[in-house]
Amino acid sequence: MSSSHLTPTRWAAITHRTSQVIGMGGIRSRLARVVAVTVAVSGLAAGCGTDLEQSPRPAQIVFAGDRYSIFAMYPDGTGITRIGDGDCPSFARDGSQTVVGGYTIAVMNPDGSNVMKLTHGGYTHPTFSPDGARIAFVRGRAVYAMNADGGEPKQLGVIPDPDPTGLPSIVIPGTNVPVPTDRVGDPDSEGSTDRPAFSPDGSKILVARSGAVWVMASDRTETRQLLPGDPNVNSDPVFTPDGTGIAFASNRARNGRSGIYVMDVDGQHIRLLNDDGGPSFSPDGTKIIYTRATRDPESTQGAEFRELWVMNSDDSASHRLTDPKQSVQQAICGSWGRGTDS
C-alpha cells in the first residue's frame, strides 16, 4: 500500500497530533484543528496526483493505414492498435501528442484520447515544430503554420509548379518564390504538396511539390529550391535530427525505381541508401522508418501492399515492422515518438 494512502488509522493519528499541537479548547481550538487536518489531507492528495503525472509513456510509432485510420505500435512492431481517424500522423518531438490530417487537422494523445479538432476541410499533412508550439501544414501549393491550439494561422509561402510555358512570374507577399501569374488567384488549388518538415532548430521548413524539393524560412523571409523536379521526381524530404543533412525519396536511380537518398543541407553530395521511400527518423537519429511496396501475390491486377520497415541510418539491419497478412495492408506516413524513459 502506498505511504500516501489515507486509512482510518492515519486519519486518527493526524487529528490526535493536531489537537496536541493546538492545545486549546472551545470553538477556536476546533476551527484550528479543521484547518490543520485540511492542509494535511491536501498534501496527501497532491502527493497522489504527482505519482499519477509521472506514469511512464513508452516510445511509439504512429502511421496511416487502411480505410482512413491511424494506428500506433511499439518500435519493435508489436502492439499494433487503431487509435483514431485521419491521415498522415506526426508526433510532437517529446512524444506527448500526435497531430493528424485528413478531413480535419486534429491533435490527440498517443493512445487516441483527448481529440481536439483544429481546422475543418482541405488542410493536410500537418507536422509539429520542434518546440511543439506550432503546426505546419499544406493546402494545395500553399504552406501554412498555426499555433498548436489552432490559433493564428498564417500562410508561409506558395510553392510553384514547374512552368514550361515561360509565363511571367511574380512574388507572393511573405516569400520570394515566383509563381505564374495565371495561378496567383488560388494558391490553395491543385493539392499535391508533401508534408512539410521542420529543421531541428525550427528555423527552416522542407517541402516537396511536383517532384522538386524546396526549403523556406519558417518566418517567411526566404524560400529557395534545393532540387529540381525534372527529370527526377523527389519527395518526402526530412532533416536529419542533427540538422546536418536531408533524407528524401527519389526515382533518380537508373532503373527508375524509388529509393531513399541523403544529401547535404545545400542539396549537394547526394547518395543512395536503399530502394524504398517515405523516410522518417527515430528521435535519436540512429534509425529510419520507411515504406516498402510489395506486390500482393493473390492479386491478378498487380495490387500492392504498403509495409513499414526500419533500418539503421546507415542502411544496415533493416527489417519489417508491419505484416500485411497479419495486421495493416497499407501502412504509410510513419512517425516515431519519444517515450518518457528515452
Tell me, what DSSP letter sits at residue 294?
E
Let me know: does 264 contact 249? Beta carbons within 8 Å. no
To the nearest whole percent, how much of the chain has pLDDT over 70?
74
| pLDDT for the residue 298 | 82
Give yes or no for residue 262 having a pLDDT over 60: yes
Give yes or no for residue 171 having a pLDDT over 50: no
| pLDDT for the residue 212 | 92
| pLDDT for the residue 53 | 54
Q: In 182-212, which positions are buried (b, 16+ CB within 10 angstroms) versus exposed (e)? A: ebeeebeeeeebbbbbbbeebebbbbbbbbb
- pLDDT-based confidence at 108, cuts 50/70/90? very high
Residue with cell 499535391: 192
- pLDDT-based confidence at 170, cuts 50/70/90? very low
To the nearest whole percent, how much of the chain has pLDDT over 90?
58
Identify the residue with better confidence: 244 or 41: 244
| pLDDT for the residue 122 | 73
* Per-chain mean pLDDT for the chain: 80
Coil, strand or helix: which one is 296?
A: coil
Coil, strand or helix: which one is 205?
A: strand
H helix runs in the chain, sequence order: 8-22, 26-53
| pLDDT for the residue 292 | 94
Coil, strand or helix: which one is 20?
A: helix
Nearest CA to 142 out of 125, 120, 159, 118 is that of: 159
- pLDDT-based confidence at 307, cuts 50/70/90? very high
Q: Which long-range contacts (CB under 8 A, 24 or more apart) does 130-133 make?
A: 130/93, 130/198, 130/199, 130/200, 130/201, 130/202, 131/93, 131/202, 132/92, 132/93, 132/94, 132/96, 132/97
| pLDDT for the residue 162 | 55
pTM, 2 dp: 0.77
Task: List Cα–Cα distances, 73 to 109, 111, 332, in angstroms.
Answer: 14, 10, 13
In the sheet with 154-158, reading across from the earlier edge strand, the strands are 124-128, 134-139, 142-147, 154-158
| pLDDT for the residue 54 | 56
